[in-house]
Structure 1
């Protein structure tokens, strides 16, 4: 199906936490310093964000300038 030129077409993108960090241009070290966490904690979150608290998710979403609705929460199976 081809969209009519007058139709609104919505494209949804999802980011892993790591993809959001990389897209925003933050290194692991800088992100850790701003977020107040260790490198090990960030690496764990980037590998599996399924147990991320709402407060931490909001903090990371704000820092990385990515809508919290477009972040994938779960195991990162992308290498």
Structure 2
């Protein structure tokens, strides 16, 4: 007997950049970029953030630039 999906319909995550009407991601906008990094400083995955591939690439580049300018933390191993 085949398995039946009991979880219901899959909902797409809401795109946070569209919700805030952000057209261009800037590395100086630290408040926006903090939404896309974890508490340990890692960049969150696309399936978690709900961004398109192009937006995820721009956000990742902006986060890396902000890290170079010491505006955001680098990831660290917690113990």
Tell me the TM-score normalised to structure 2 length: 0.26
Q: More relative contact order in 1 or in 2 (CA 8 Å, sep 6+)?
A: 1
Higher gyration radius (CA): 2
